[in-house]
Structure 1
């Protein structure tokens, strides 16, 4: 038996499970997933890459949602009746395995199912109170500081670009950054005048949990409907965070901003959970902020990866093209 499978075998003894055969589904760095059969059921063991305090937040959130009848995989409790197992200074969780197919966001029917599943997931997460020793993850009330921090970094990178104008990528960044900063300033100004801070003035458990990585592979379709999986990155935030990421990804993929994509996404989501006019205004503000420009260029400046001048030009065009569309939205 390989060392990894021996590790899985040893960990499962903490659940009173004796298992000899495993299939490794994923093995990237610390994160490892083993699939196995036990007592006629299929389950999976997952080794987490988070700290114990952070894992306690997300794992117990999943238990909470499942106990409310939410469609997330159920978690097996260990011999100490805990959802999280510590073994050899590593963290493990055992989940039920759900036979399913991926939902593809490019197919209208699949996308509709996925958006309704997201709305349910958000609603079912309200009321979650993490254990005391958990490290709470929250973005509530932090949008303005996040916007300002991204803007500050982009201005810092402008200085770096100005010293490297013989490089095409840095020149493209330097030529376009002022219009992007203008866009960031508009968003920040609108946020300051919005109802954001009043909405955020509440106890955390009154808010929803956002998935933060909701996309293909993290929502699956089984015989009894859709399931939301891989909740490792959940955080308290307004539902808008997940919706902004989904809409932006679609626009980036299509290379153009389309009003009907925003309206279709929202109509699917709102079949289960209606958004207030204040929330729609916040969605507009968050869509307006140049998140996608920042996401692309940070690879050049923060991660030292090459980003072509063409890519910088095209993401700038995409960001600027949305202004007139969003201005009259809602």
Structure 2
């Protein structure tokens, strides 16, 4: 609790019509934190939000829309004077009901079907949502090509410098040995995303409305004793096409299993398609997004920028090697993706 002792929790909680019995810190990273609040009205969860107030307003708008369309999310607790959050010195805090349940297991076919089907329902429910004036939405819609080019060129600059070094460390030699292959893969993906399939889907999303969760994964989902699926952690909600979330979920599940599995991939696509059917051209966009080597590029970028100060060079090297090997296990599947697309 020492790290959070300077947080104005007492001031925040006095804004609510409840009596606090106990406070327990769940996580804390400076700009954001989570606390369990035991009260006379049951258990609550208090979140310190890292987003600006304008972005929080966008998220709250989106949460209301999703809840109205049947998505189960923790109910936000209003203050005594009817506000949905409390801001102190430019930092916002949000209190919600605590939902009790268990995180789903990817190894359980029933629970994996709930996750993939839940993601489909989430995307379907997001249709019709458009950010309100005065809010500041997170926005990735239509920006993939320029974003992926920037990611690729950023690490290529470091790679080009490494090529000029005569004495190479093992990690540098590893990156050099793998980079050309993944650079070519990334270029293929980018070229494909310049096509009609992606631009058509973006146009449709602009017309109809479309949200992505960005981390629709087991750690942010709860299955209640009544077998309802609750969606947690809406901090990263963004305006984008559904393919973004589908790619992220597939990568998470397959990474957990250690390699890409065609049958399991096909099952997930079918579970999703049951509730939010995609067209063949939209599934092609999913394939192209999987073709872009997000995990390899992320691991290399993390090393070059030393984004995890606690990691040794050996740890970075291990991660790059693992992501390189993992990405390659998916290539035969991506070459035959049409064979597992739901119809």
Tell me the TM-score normalized by structure 2. 0.87
Q: Is the 8 A contact 1:292 1:319 kept in 2?
A: yes
Task: List runs of 5+ in structure 1 lacking aligned partners.
Answer: none
Q: Which moved more, 1:196-205 or 1:150-159?
A: 196-205
5 Å-filtered alignment, 1:92-103, equals 92-103=93-104
1:32-73, CA deviations, whole angstroms, 9 ceiling, x for partnerless residues? 222234453322221112222222222332222223332111
Pairing 1:271–2:274 present:
yes
Q: How many angstroms apart in 2 are the aligned matches of 1:5 and 1:296?
A: 34
Change over 3 Å in CA distance of 1:252–1:20 after alignment to 2: closer
Change over 3 Å in CA distance of 1:317–1:203 after alignment to 2: closer
Pairing 1:232–2:235 present:
yes
| Residue of structure 2 equivalent to 1:212 | 214
Q: How many angstroms apart in 2 are the aligned matches of 1:37 and 1:199?
A: 45
| Residue of structure 1 equivalent to 2:198 | 196
5 Å-filtered alignment, 1:1-330, equals 4=5, 7-164=8-165, 165-202=167-204, 204=206, 206-224=208-226, 225-303=228-306, 305=311, 306=313, 307-309=315-317, 311-330=319-338
Tell me the TM-score normalized by structure 1. 0.91
Q: Which moved more, 1:306-315 or 1:17-26?
A: 306-315
SS in 2 for 1:201: helix
Q: Is the 8 A contact 1:212 1:242 kept in 2?
A: yes
Cα offset, 1:311, TM superposition: 4.3
Cα offset, 1:302, TM superposition: 1.7
Q: How many angstroms apart in 2 are the aligned matches of 1:151 and 1:319?
A: 16
Q: How many angstroms apart in 1 are the aligned matches of 2:36 and 2:178?
A: 48
SS in 2 for 1:15: coil
Q: Which moved more, 1:282-291 or 1:308-317?
A: 308-317
Q: Is the 8 A contact 2:127 2:208 kept in 1?
A: yes
1:117-154, CA deviations, whole angstroms, 9 ceiling, x for partnerless residues? 21122222222233322211111111111221122112
Change over 3 Å in CA distance of 1:103–1:254 after alignment to 2: closer
Q: How many angstroms apart in 1 are the aligned matches of 2:29 and 2:85?
A: 20
Q: How many angstroms apart in 2 are the aligned matches of 1:206 and 1:67?
A: 17
Q: How many angstroms apart in 2 are the aligned matches of 1:25 and 1:195?
A: 43
Q: How many angstroms apart in 2 are the aligned matches of 1:266 and 1:57?
A: 30
Q: Which moved more, 1:218-227 or 1:56-65?
A: 56-65
Aligned residues: 330
Q: How many angstroms apart in 2 are the aligned matches of 1:269 and 1:142?
A: 24
SS in 2 for 1:195: helix
Cα offset, 1:322, TM superposition: 2.9
Change over 3 Å in CA distance of 1:203–1:273 after alignment to 2: closer
Q: How many angstroms apart in 1 are the aligned matches of 2:142 and 2:232?
A: 26
Q: How many angstroms apart in 2 are the aligned matches of 1:71 and 1:51?
A: 24
Q: How many angstroms apart in 1 are the aligned matches of 2:234 and 2:190?
A: 30
Q: Which moved more, 1:34-43 or 1:93-102?
A: 34-43
Task: List runs of 5+ in structure 2 lacking aligned partners.
Answer: 339-343
Q: How many angstroms apart in 2 are the aligned matches of 1:325 and 1:68?
A: 35
Cα offset, 1:313, TM superposition: 4.0
